[in-house]
Amino acid sequence: MDRTTPVEISREGAHDVAILWKDGRRSSYAARYLRLACPCAQCIEEITGRPLLDPATVPEDVHPVRIDAVGHYAIQIMFSDGHGTGIFTFDRLRELDREDSDSPSPSGSPA
Amino acid sequence: MPADEKAILTALGKVMDPDLNRDIVSLGFVKNMKIVGGKVAFDVELTTPACPVKDQLKAQAEEQALSVEGVESVDITMTAQVRQSAPQSAGLQKIPGVTHMIPVASGKGGVGKSTVSVNLALALAQTGARVGLMDLDIYGPSVPTIMGLEAKPVVEENRILPAEKHGVKFISMGFFLEEEKAVVWRGPMLVKMIDEFIANVEWGELDYMIVDLPPGTGDIQLSLCQKIALTGAVVVSTPQDVALKVAQKAISLFNSLKTPVLGLVENMSYYSCPACGEKDYIFGHGGTKKAATRLGLPFLGELPLSTKIREDSDAGEPTVIADPNGEHARAFQAIAAQMAAQVSIRTMNEEAAVKINF
Ligand SMILES: Nc1ncnc2c1ncn2[C@@H]1O[C@H](COP(=O)(O)OP(=O)(O)OP(=O)(O)O)[C@@H](O)[C@H]1O
Ligand SMILES: [Mg+2]
Ligand SMILES: [Zn+2]
């Protein structure tokens, strides 16, 4: 549980996101990496898990403009390209931390 | 020597509520223990009469109590007290006497919100809960038809008495609208009507109020979430990908308004063959469940596509009343139980939210 319970979500550098987890790990996420990892139904096909988002259509400088808590289990990120339907669960965010050695490799991770 | 109360409580401390993830003693569920010699009697007070694991908890409590030295017989009474949740944010109103307000929503029309709302309300009432049903669909208020009641509620000195049937109190926009006028009731007028329903209806004491919403993410949804303290919404979807996408829109709206989502229901999930009873998942299996997992939301259950469900609704004899022990009714009852469990979980686990500095 501690692995997927965040204590604090903060800004890193100009636009990146950092999460401090209850187990002590600090994860960093590049702004565009998060946008490409958006799990919403417009970006990933529900039934098959096939990616629908073409990375070429995502601006290089895309970044989160707002982050809101969703219940006790997720955050919703509004990005600078106007896209904000993605709900990032804490479980998923921990998976998306690619440098976390004991993390299983994220399924369908963005290129 | 009479059986020892402390020893019994220690034994009962091994009975875990699987939804709340805590034992029934530390949750304060064990009440009124009486010990006469080897005869032990007590109450187990759950947080909802619709608890999906009621029988399991009772059996486990009995087994544990009987394992204590000196205990010869155990008599357990299962009761329930639906508890209030802390208000999610300041400035929201509560309807006096109503413990949990639960809107049923969908991204698009025709997915079965009204069918689900009515049957959920009736299924909760069947467990002994006190239940209300508010039909806020201005475009096609169908609750009176499904409930089999077109009669208008009584209005007394500006107070509205809700209609009542099968143990559920309900009120519908349909009672107050003439059909051709419905379309012009937009925006501010409509919001005033909701205020009216909330302030001037004599609901009495209710454990759960189910609110049937119009399809989509319009004025009614917005003003309800901005005004009233809601325990959480139930979102209905059909299995097709396109419907799931629009369900996501509804979920996003609730999220942005800080209204919790209790879980997703998949309606018209499979066709259950009336001849052989086999389930045919015409649209593929598990779409809504997958969506729920991805969104980190509970999946409350699935309902079959069945001519019988539609016929029951059209006849004003909803499925859980028409055939309360049938397969379809059981599907509705199971979803009602899961929903009630989610309400309890939310009420009991109000932990600190994460700090966001962004
Ligand atoms: N599981 C089901 N099996 C068969 N028919 C169903 C099922 N659920 C709903 N229906 C039928 O589908 C139609 C639409 O259902 P319902 O009115 O409950 O949907 P709704 O989402 O409330 O629609 P609206 O958006 O118009 O308010 C009704 O005729 C209803 O009887
Ligand atoms: Mg309806
Ligand atoms: Zn997306």
The complex scores an ipTM of 0.83
- B194 shares its domain with B58: no
| CATH code, domain with B254 | 3.40.50.300
* Rounded Cα distance, B190 and A4, in Å: 43
Contact partners, residue B155, CB within 8 Å, separation at least 6: B161
Q: Which of A6, A42, A46 sits opposite B287 (nearest CB)?
A: A46
Task: Record the tokens describing residue A11, joined without a space.
Answer: 């800004």
Whether residues B354 and A40 touch (CB distance < 8 A) is answered with no
Q: How far is CA B100 from the centre of its chain?
A: 9
Distance from the CA of B38 to the center of ligand 1, in angstroms? Answer: 55
Q: Which residues contact B288 (CB under 8 A, 6 or more apart)?
A: B237, B239, B244, B247, B264, B265, B266, B269, B299, B302
Contact flag B251-A10 (C-beta cutoff 8 Å)? no
Please give the pLDDT value at position A110.
46
Do residues B134 and B249 both lie within one domain?
yes
Q: Is residue B42 part of a domain?
A: yes
Nearest to A42 by CA among A89, A83, A95, A98: A83
CATH topology of domain A2-100: NE0471 N-terminal domain-like (3.30.2020)
For the entire predicted model, the pTM comes to 0.76
Residue B174 lies in a domain: yes
3-state secondary structure of B47: coil
Q: Are A85 and B252 in contact (CB under 8 A)?
A: yes
Q: What is the pLDDT of residues B151-161, one digit of tens each?
A: 677 777 778 88
Judge if B154 and B232 occupy the same domain: yes
Nearest residue to A87 (alpha-carbon basis) of A106, A104, A108, A72: A72
Q: How far apart (Å, rounded) are the C-alpha atoms in residues A17 and A96? A: 12
Distance B118 CA to ligand 2 centre (A): 10
List pLDDT tens digits, range B141-194.
Answer: 789 999 998 667 777 777 888 999 999 999 988 887 665 555 555 556 667 777
Same domain, B9 and B70: yes
Q: At what angle do helices B113-126 and B307-314 cross, to 10 degrees?
A: 80
CB of B87 within 6 A of ligand 1: the answer is no
* Residue B144 domain-assigned (yes or no): yes
- Cβ distance B296 to A8 less than 8 Å, yes or no, reads no
d(CA B185, CA B108): 20
Q: pLDDT tens for residues B189-208?
A: 667 777 777 878 889 999 99
Among B241, B296, B351, select the one facing A89 at the smallest CB separation.
Answer: B296
B246 and B286 both lie in a single domain = yes
Establish whether residue B97 lines the binding site of ligand 1, counting it when its CB lies within 6 angstroms of any ligand atom. no
Query: Which token pair is B179?
Result: 């059909």
**CATH no. for residue B66?**
3.30.300.130
Q: Is the residue at B279 inside a domain?
A: yes
In a domain? residue B203: yes
What residues of chain B have any CB closer than 8 angstroms to a CB in chain A? 241, 244-245, 248-249, 251-252, 255-256, 260-261, 284, 287, 290-291, 294-296, 349, 351, 353-358
Q: Looking at the structure, do residues B213 and B295 belong to the same domain, yes or no?
A: yes
Q: How many domains does chain B have?
A: 2
Give the position, in ligand 1's atom list, of the atom nearest the Cα of B328. Answer: 1
CA B189 to chain CA centroid, nearest Å:
29
Task: Please tell me the distance between residue A83's alpha carbon and the centre of ligand 3 in angstroms.
Answer: 7
Q: What is B160-226 written as a DSSP string?
A: EEPEEETTEEEEEGGGT--GGGGGG--HHHHHHHHHHHHHHB---SEEEEEEEPPSSSSHHHHHHHH
The reply to whether residue A7 touches residue B354, judged by beta carbons under 8 angstroms, is yes
Low-confidence ranges of chain B (pLDDT < 70): 1, 85-91, 150-151, 177-190, 242, 349-353
Q: Residue B152: inside a domain, yes or no?
A: yes
Nearest C-alpha of chain A: how many angstroms from B89? 13
